[in-house]
A = this chain, B = another copy of it.
Amino acid sequence: MNAKTLWRLVKSSLAVAVLTATAPSFAADWHEIRSPDGRLEVEFAVEDGQAVYRAEYRGRAIIDRSVLGFRFKDRPALVSGFKIADVERTSTNAQWQQPWGERRIVTDLSAGLSAVLSSPDGRKLRIEFRVFNDGFGFRYQLPGKPNERFVVSDEVTEFAFSQNYKAWSIPAYREKFSEYEYSRSALSALSVVQTPLTLEGNGLALAIHEAALVDYASMNLRMAADNTKTLKADLTPWSNGDLVRARGGQNTPWRVVLVADSAAQLADSTAILNLNEPSRIGDASWAKPMKYIGIFWGMHIGKFTWEPGPNLGATTARAKEYIDWAAKNGIPAVLIEGWNRGWDVPEWWQNGKSRFIFDAAAPDFDMAEVSRYATAKGVEIVGHHETGAQVQDYLRQLEPALDYYDRFGVRSIKLGYVGTRLDVHEWPDGQYAVEAFQKVVEATAKHQIAIFPHEPVKDTGLRRTWPHVMSREGARGQEYNGGSPDSGNSPDHVTILPFTRLLSGPLDYTPGVFDFDYREKRPINRVPSTLAQQLALFVVLYSPVQMAVDLPENYEGKPAFQFIRDVPTDWETSKTLMGEIGDYIVTARQDRHSSDWYLGALTNERSRALSVPLSFLSKGRRYEAQIYADGAGADWKTAPERVTISKRIVTSRTVLNLSLAPGGGQAIRFKAL
């Protein structure tokens, strides 16, 4: 074609003309907010009555002039005619401590700007920016008095990217929500996608996400109509089309742009945590990082069932077996799925059909006895609340359900929201879902019970405010490798997650498959991984609670299980050493309770040799590297179980050469000597 380009040219010329015509106001109105290290520069202005921003990193434009504002169902829009009523500069320079986390100390260093804009009819819209070294955020405070109610029909927020970056995305508004493998595409090919959205190009890595989503709809990103590089906010609606049922003075979540020199650096960003409010639960020591096993994988591979029958998973006897095994192997907790009443309801996973009871055990399960036994063995029970996406029914039962767990000493619950719509009608990430989940967050906080939500509202850094929300699913997890008829994940999936889904928070992926031969019951399913990679996942895919997923008997007599015994779930600090999205990643983390370090390396379907300088280790100290590597001929397809365990002495000056098999990995404990 040709004339298309003419069209583009003309459009570009017009844009230039506009800029030229408004050059005087241009110069006058742009407020610059520069990150403390000076590299990231965000500018805000009211230009021709529009609220706009743009951003540069290291002198390269990343986001061009992008419009901010709102439309409402029941009152005039706030998109034009703005004047700046007030501008205030802010800054932060602090360190704070995570009760648990991938790093103990988080540095909160930022420059900020808070602008009050007045609309022609006198309403005031506040827009607040915070610019960190590793990204920036902005949020709106909606106008009106606290008792005012109104409906947001469009959040205008644009992200007009300067380049047609490479994008890693999952689609929005699909039946399986967040449980998709990531697509790699040009930014220009996107339609409507979820966040975090990760972008690469021009020597940069970017991600768009949000922070502190507590009383608003989730933000998706939709391609703007006439442009191939501009995405705009697309809030998940209520079933009647309302986007947000807002109140006067409400703050929106922060809209966050993470920026880094590389994907590896992006993976270590802390801006989202810094944009969340400090903890509201005081002493959080009851929300404990830990490993657990579960009556879980047996269901996925078809050995057990959730519903009553000859192979029922959650029986008193089996729970005791698992408790015994956990106690013997130093695993602090056991998840029991399918213990309560309701699993026998036919097709409960279909909208509106489930009838779960949360304070009564199914006939084959004696909660009192199991609880007593667990306590005697020093093992915790991880409870399980499958809501079947009937959230009002769950909320109605929530207090008795938590009382019940209190009574039996259950201090953490895996939550499930299986279904295609909440309460038949509502998307699982609209305001309806967010507010319903927040009620669960607050109720469980009062009971001092930690939660691990599956099919969750996406994480937006809420663990800072509510550290008992420990880890979420919200991704296509290991379970797909076990019992999904669409035959599992691709081998590159785990090399994409750390740069995409993990940017939002911890992931309850459930690593640790040791027995790859379950074809008898699942002929088409494969775990696209070697055993060494399964170990490395404990390090790379951060979660404060990690379920060693395989059947206990599959760990018996396996020397490699020692790594699962050893690997901590709470860290002093963490560093993504290297990585390319979809290809490989190497992550190092320091144990919070010792001087030991751990390293995990993953590759996709290709074998790979990597040289890793151990400069993260303490200078002058010697470590015993306990190395769990892919064995000779290991390959996820043909010989996944081959693992070689070796030891050597290393220091911070050592450069390790890692050899990773197809679908392989390597896990290392650096034991401080």
Where the two chains meet, the residues of A that have a C-beta atom closer than 8 Å to any C-beta of B are: 1-12, 162-164, 166, 170-171, 174-176, 179-186, 188-189, 191, 201, 225-229, 296, 299-300, 302, 305-307, 337, 347-349, 386, 388, 416, 418, 454-455, 473, 477, 479, 482-488, 490, 524
| C-alpha spacing A229/B487, complex, angstroms | 9
Report chain B residues within 8 Å CB of A8: 483-485
Report chain B residues within 8 Å CB of A348: 3
Beyond contacts A1-B179, A6-B299: 16 other A-B pairs, Cβ-Cβ < 8 A, are: A1-B477, A2-B416, A2-B479, A3-B306, A3-B418, A4-B479, A5-B299, A5-B479, A6-B305, A7-B349, A8-B484, A8-B485, A9-B305, A164-B487, A180-B186, A182-B185
Report chain B residues within 8 Å CB of A164: 181, 486-488, 490
Given known pairs A164-B487, A229-B486, the reply for A2 and B184 (CB within 8 Å) is no
From the candidates B176, B182, B490, name the one contacting A228 in the complex (CB within 8 A).
B176
Report chain B residues within 8 Å CB of A416: 1-3
- Output the residue of A5, A7, A11, A418 with the most chain B CB within 10 A: A5
Q: How many copies of this chain sit in the oligomeric assembly?
A: 2
Q: Chain B nearest CB: distance from A312 CB in Å?
A: 12
From the candidates B163, B201, B306, name the one contacting A6 in the complex (CB within 8 A).
B306
| C-alpha spacing A183/B483, complex, angstroms | 27
From the candidates B12, B180, B418, name the one contacting A188 in the complex (CB within 8 A).
B180
Say whether chain A's binding surface is mostly helix, strand, loop, or mixed. loop
Q: Chain B nearest CB: distance from A314 CB in Å?
A: 11
From the candidates B6, B166, B386, name the one contacting A2 in the complex (CB within 8 A).
B386
Report chain B residues within 8 Å CB of A227: 486
Q: List 13 A-B contacts (CB under 8 A).
A: A2-B296, A3-B416, A3-B418, A5-B299, A5-B483, A171-B191, A175-B226, A176-B228, A182-B185, A184-B185, A188-B486, A227-B486, A229-B485
Query: Are A183 and B180 in contact, with the CB atoms below 8 A?
Result: no
| C-alpha spacing A303/B328, complex, angstroms | 77
From the candidates B11, B163, B181, B347, name the one contacting A10 in the complex (CB within 8 A).
B347
Closest residue of chain B to A61 (Cβ to Cβ) is B524
| C-alpha spacing A479/B2, complex, angstroms | 7
Report chain B residues within 8 Å CB of A185: 181-185
Closest residue of chain B to A163 (Cβ to Cβ) is B487
Query: Are A9 and B189 in contact, with the CB atoms below 8 A?
Result: no
| C-alpha spacing A184/B182, complex, angstroms | 9
Report chain B residues within 8 Å CB of A201: 490
Query: Are A1 and B182 in contact, with the CB atoms below 8 A?
Result: no
